[in-house]
Amino acid sequence: MVLLMITTVQWYGIILVILGLIFRYIVARNRFNRRGSGGLQEYDSYNKALVTTAFERFLKIIGTGMLLFGLFLIAIEWFNKNTAERLELEKLREQKR
């Protein structure tokens, strides 16, 4: 019954949050896997290091944006739902008077 109460905007928010977390996880896992015994990331060439770093930075920014926008959608829809419910309760109280 609770799943039926979730609106499509909230579903979009949940999907964006999950995708944002997945993007950030993939970048962090790849950075971890490149670390050598000294704790530094190891690359085959300078060009590969530049491209990989830039691409991962871009993915991390996109992931963070998706995460924040998803949380924003969930919060806005929750606020709108609560406001609508309060207005309905006020109307019912006025009708009873």
pLDDT value of position 3: 58
Cβ neighbours, 10 Å, residue 73: 20
pLDDT value of position 51: 96
Contacts of 74 (CB under 8 A, 6+ apart): 10, 13, 14, 17
Burial of 88 (0-12, 13-18, 19+ CB in 10 A): exposed
pLDDT value of position 5: 81
pLDDT value of position 7: 86
The Cα 66–Cα 26 span in angstroms is 14
pLDDT value of position 89: 87
For the chain, residues with pLDDT lower than 70 are 1-4
Three-class DSSP category at 43: coil
